[in-house]
Chain A
Amino acid sequence: MSTVGDMPRNTVSRRIQRSLHGRRRLQLSLVLGLPLLILVVLYLGSLALLLVNAFWSLDPVTSTVRHEWTLDNFVRIATNGVYHVITIRTIGLAALVTVTCAVIGFPVAYYMARIASVRTRRLLLLGVLLPLWASYLVKVFAWRAILQQQGVLNWVLEPLGIKGPGYGDVATWLVFTYLWLPYMITPIYAGLERIPNSMLEASSDLGARSGPTFRRVVLPLAFPAVVAGSIFTFSLTMGDYIAPALVSSTQFLGNVIQREVGTSNNLPLAAALAIIPIIVMIIYLIVARRLGAFEAL
Chain B
Amino acid sequence: MAATKRRQGALTAGLAIALGLVPSMTVAQSPAAMPVPESALTEVGPGEGALEVVAWAGYVEDGSTSPDLDWVSGFEEATGCQVNVTLGNTSDEMFTLMQTGNYDLVSASGDASNRLITAGSVQPINLNLIPNYADVFEGLKGKPHNTVDGVPYGVPHGRGANLLMYNTDVVTPAPDSWSVVFDTESPYAGKVTAYDSPIYIADAAVYLMATNPELGITNPYALDETQFAAAVDLLKAQRSIIGRYWGLYTDEIAAFQSGDSVLGTTWQVIANVLKDPAAPTPIEAILPKEGATGWSDTWMLSAESKHPNCGYLFMNHIISPEVNAQATEYFGEAPANKLSCALTANPDHCALFHAEDEDYFSKVYFWATPQAQCLDGRTDVTCTDYSAWTQAWTEIKG
Interface residues of A (CB under 8 A from B): 58, 60-64, 76, 80, 82-83, 85-86, 148-150, 166-167, 245, 249, 251, 256, 259-266, 269
* Cross-chain contact B254 with A148 (CB below 8 angstroms): yes
Given known A-B contacts A80-B395, A148-B258, A150-B258, A249 and B390 have beta carbons under 8 A apart:
no
- The CA of A64 and the CA of B99, in the complex, are separated in Å by 10
Cβ–Cβ < 8 Å partners of B207 in chain A: none
Given known A-B contacts A82-B394, A149-B258, A264 and B387 have beta carbons under 8 A apart:
yes
Q: Shortest distance in angstroms between B227's beta carbon and chain A's nearest beta carbon?
A: 16
* Cross-chain contact B385 with A61 (CB below 8 angstroms): yes
| B 104-119 to A, binary, CB cutoff 8 A, 1 in contact else 0 | 0000000100010011
* Cross-chain contact A245 with B247 (CB below 8 angstroms): yes
Cβ–Cβ < 8 Å partners of A150 in chain B: 257-258
- The CA of A167 and the CA of B119, in the complex, are separated in Å by 40
Q: Which of B93, B257, B371 contacts A262 (CB 8 A)?
A: B93
- The CA of A255 and the CA of B130, in the complex, are separated in Å by 42
* Cross-chain contact B91 with A263 (CB below 8 angstroms): yes
Cβ–Cβ < 8 Å partners of A58 in chain B: 387
Residue B24, interface by CB 8 Å: no
- The CA of A261 and the CA of B283, in the complex, are separated in Å by 36
* Cross-chain contact B394 with A251 (CB below 8 angstroms): yes
- The CA of A82 and the CA of B232, in the complex, are separated in Å by 14
Given known A-B contacts A149-B258, A249-B245, A263 and B395 have beta carbons under 8 A apart:
no
Residue B353, interface by CB 8 Å: no
- The CA of A80 and the CA of B385, in the complex, are separated in Å by 19
Q: List 29 A-B contacts (CB under 8 A).
A: A58-B387, A60-B371, A60-B372, A60-B388, A63-B115, A63-B118, A63-B385, A63-B387, A82-B395, A82-B398, A83-B394, A149-B260, A150-B257, A166-B260, A249-B244, A251-B398, A259-B198, A260-B387, A260-B390, A261-B92, A263-B90, A263-B92, A263-B197, A263-B386, A264-B198, A264-B386, A265-B387, A266-B391, A269-B391
Considering the complex, give the chain B residue whose CB is closest to the CB of A58: B387
Q: Shortest distance in angstroms between A59's beta carbon and chain B's nearest beta carbon?
A: 9
- The CA of A62 and the CA of B115, in the complex, are separated in Å by 7
Cβ–Cβ < 8 Å partners of B56 in chain A: none
- The CA of A81 and the CA of B387, in the complex, are separated in Å by 18
Cβ–Cβ < 8 Å partners of A269 in chain B: 387, 391
Q: Which of A61, A80, A82, A166 contacts B372 (CB 8 A)?
A: A61
